[in-house]
A and B are shown apart, each in its own frame.
Chain A
Amino acid sequence: MSSVTELPPWRRPPRGHFPGVPAWGLPAAVLPEAFEVCPVGPVTPHWAWGGADGAAIRVCVLDSGVEASHPLVGEVEAALDVVPASDEDGAPLVIVPGEPVDLAGHGTACASVIRSIAPAAAITSVRVLTNGKHGSGAALLAGLRWAIDEGFDVINMSLSTAKEKFRDELRELADRAYFRRSVLVAAAHNMPVHSYPWPFASVISVACHDGTDPMTYYYNPAPPVDFFARGVRVPVAWRGGKEIRSTGNSFAAPHIAGISALVLSKHPMLAPFQLKSVLMQAAGNVAMPDGGAHVTD
């Protein structure tokens, strides 16, 4: 177990005495603690992910499970289930090791997209959707909290909850992930309903475009959707080792999760705010073919 000071500043436990003393300021007499920095030079797609394969990056798929035996998915690092601690009503939810299976297929489809983009990334499945009802928001929260505490580099959420009562807690979790450098990539909801966490500023939200190139994505200057990625007729894993083509924001998000894994594997010291900026600068409607970016004087 690492001591607190061995952990990078963004992974240390929160200070126990807030508000109070010591205050948040930095006296001029004290040098700021040294830390590794990723300088962001002229950003092009090549600078961002050229030659990267996602190695050493851990991606968590919060979904219906992942079928690890599927040839489009391959091995998963771990498979976990969110389950009630007991049969009693209102029992707390716990995260327990599970089998790498997926009766629905949605999580397997998302994992196959991530694998196709970042083949060397380690994928972990956390099953938060376990029956035919819209996944319980409580399971989603429990799974997300666990994934953030575990320090995954990228967390893919091709799902959301439309329950208002979970909004504030989800926002706190999304902020916590942001500060701890776990990048939340969430599918935007394609319906006229309010759902979360995708509209939060601390996550990377994704809707789909109808192009066919998996590496082409566009920055969206009109929030809350950050990027448009491939999401129409995407080849995805289907139950029983098969493949189908599927359309939806659910499949656009794992494209950006995969691309984020590539960028982070090449530039591990990027903080989430830098990553979003790099993704923007390397986007198809921002980056120039010869490097640099479209700039309006």
Chain B
Amino acid sequence: MSPTNSTASPAPEADLTQRRLLQSVVEIAKGMYGAAAVSVFLVDPATGELVFEAVAGEGEGMLPGTRFPSGTGIAGWVAMSGQPLIADDLASTPLFAQDAAESTGYVPRSIMAAPVIVDGDCIGVLEVLDRDTIQRGDLVDMDSVGMLATEVASVLQLLLRVRWSERENQAAPQSPGLEALRRVAQRLPGAPQSVQATVVKLLTMADELLEGGGTAAA
């Protein structure tokens, strides 16, 4: 298992709220399970690789953006089977310990993970490292991690929607008119009321002009 660190362009500012929401989910999960770390991976649809999207706890400073080959590790099991799982006694398994240490710098004793499913596709994995089991049982944890993964699915869906829309905007040819419209839309709410009324009138006239196929006399 050899991770690579993505050098892709940083996430656009537009998805900040969604990223904060996702980060708060993993922070809460970390507290709820008394875990060493909680992370969310996104499956890269092009390569099948798992990419760290949000991390709370061990590795939170360095892991986001790191990629893992498809189908490996417990997260790979989960992404493939579509089922939540818990794996215990991992630190005593030399091969696993070596893999984990090389890839994340941390060797967990136990991993709990659940698939993040949107429209029937597994688009990510929620993973909890070294949870405590105080006053809870494995079955209760399995149920709750499944529910949490369902919540993460909604958040990831919002996040991806923003990113796709940003990418589409970046890919679309920009005309001076569209750029002006974008600036107008940004400034309009902050303008004095009288100015707003004038701008709306002008925009309405522009709309009517376009509705006539742009053939109206000037």
Asked whether A245 lies within 8 Å of B88 as measured between CB atoms, the reply is yes
B138 on interface, CB distance cutoff 8 Å = yes
Asked whether A246 lies within 8 Å of B85 as measured between CB atoms, the reply is yes
**Binding site secondary structure of chain A:** loop
Known A104-B77, A190-B143: A249·B83 in contact at CB below 8 Å: yes
B48 on interface, CB distance cutoff 8 Å = yes
From 222 to 241 in chain A, residues with beta carbon under 8 angstroms from any chain B beta carbon are 232-233, 238-240
Q: In the complex, how many residue pairs between chain A and chain B have their CB atoms under 8 Å apart?
A: 143
Residues of B within 8 A of A250 (CB): 81, 83, 85
Interface residue count on the B side (C-beta < 8 Å) = 42
Asked whether B48 lies within 8 Å of A129 as measured between CB atoms, the reply is no
Asked whether A192 lies within 8 Å of B150 as measured between CB atoms, the reply is yes
Report A70-109 CB contacts with B as 1/0, cut-off 8 Å.
0000000000000000000000000000000001111000
Name the residue on B nearest A233 (C-beta).
Answer: B88
Asked whether A131 lies within 8 Å of B71 as measured between CB atoms, the reply is yes
Asked whether B84 lies within 8 Å of A133 as measured between CB atoms, the reply is no
Docked CA distance A162–B122 (Å): 9
Docked CA distance A169–B139 (Å): 32
Name the residue on B nearest A241 (C-beta).
Answer: B95
Name the residue on B nearest A191 (C-beta).
Answer: B146
Docked CA distance A135–B86 (Å): 20
A116 on interface, CB distance cutoff 8 Å = no
The minimal Cβ–Cβ distance linking B114 to chain A, given in whole angstroms, is 7
Known A163-B120, A190-B146, A191-B114: A238·B76 in contact at CB below 8 Å: no
The minimal Cβ–Cβ distance linking B137 to chain A, given in whole angstroms, is 6
**Binding site secondary structure of chain B:** mixed
Report B19-48 CB contacts with A as 1/0, cut-off 8 Å.
000000000000000000000000101001
- The CB with the most chain B CB atoms within 10 A, among A106, A163, A209, is that of A106
Asked whether A246 lies within 8 Å of B86 as measured between CB atoms, the reply is yes
Name the residue on A nearest B94 (C-beta).
Answer: A242
Asked whether B50 lies within 8 Å of A248 as measured between CB atoms, the reply is no
Residues of B within 8 A of A189 (CB): 82-83
The minimal Cβ–Cβ distance linking B119 to chain A, given in whole angstroms, is 8
The minimal Cβ–Cβ distance linking B102 to chain A, given in whole angstroms, is 15
From 242 to 261 in chain A, residues with beta carbon under 8 angstroms from any chain B beta carbon are 242-250
B3 on interface, CB distance cutoff 8 Å = no
A161 on interface, CB distance cutoff 8 Å = yes
Asked whether A132 lies within 8 Å of B79 as measured between CB atoms, the reply is yes
B127 on interface, CB distance cutoff 8 Å = no
Residues of B within 8 A of A164 (CB): 120
Asked whether B80 lies within 8 Å of A246 as measured between CB atoms, the reply is no
Residues of A within 8 A of B142 (CB): 190, 208, 247-248
Residues of B within 8 A of A133 (CB): 43, 45, 48, 70, 79-80, 121-122
**Which of B48, B82, B93 is within 8 Å of A132, CB to CB?**
B48
Residues of B within 8 A of A193 (CB): 117, 150
Name the residue on B nearest A247 (C-beta).
Answer: B86
B179 on interface, CB distance cutoff 8 Å = no
Asked whether A190 lies within 8 Å of B84 as measured between CB atoms, the reply is yes
Asked whether B139 lies within 8 Å of A64 as measured between CB atoms, the reply is no
Name the residue on B nearest A128 (C-beta).
Answer: B80
Asked whether A244 lies within 8 Å of B139 as measured between CB atoms, the reply is no
Residues of A within 8 A of B138 (CB): 210, 232-233, 247
**Which of B76, B93, B122, B146 is within 8 Å of A104, CB to CB?**
B76
**Which of B50, B72, B81, B95 is within 8 Å of A158, CB to CB?**
B81
Residues of B within 8 A of A240 (CB): 95
Asked whether B115 lies within 8 Å of A134 as measured between CB atoms, the reply is yes
Residues of B within 8 A of A123 (CB): none
B49 on interface, CB distance cutoff 8 Å = yes
Residues of B within 8 A of A191 (CB): 84, 114-115, 117, 146-147, 149-150
The minimal Cβ–Cβ distance linking A234 to chain B, given in whole angstroms, is 10
19 A-B contacts, Cβ less than 8 Å apart? A104-B71, A104-B76, A105-B77, A106-B77, A132-B43, A133-B121, A158-B83, A159-B83, A162-B82, A190-B83, A190-B143, A190-B146, A191-B117, A193-B117, A240-B95, A242-B96, A245-B89, A247-B85, A248-B142
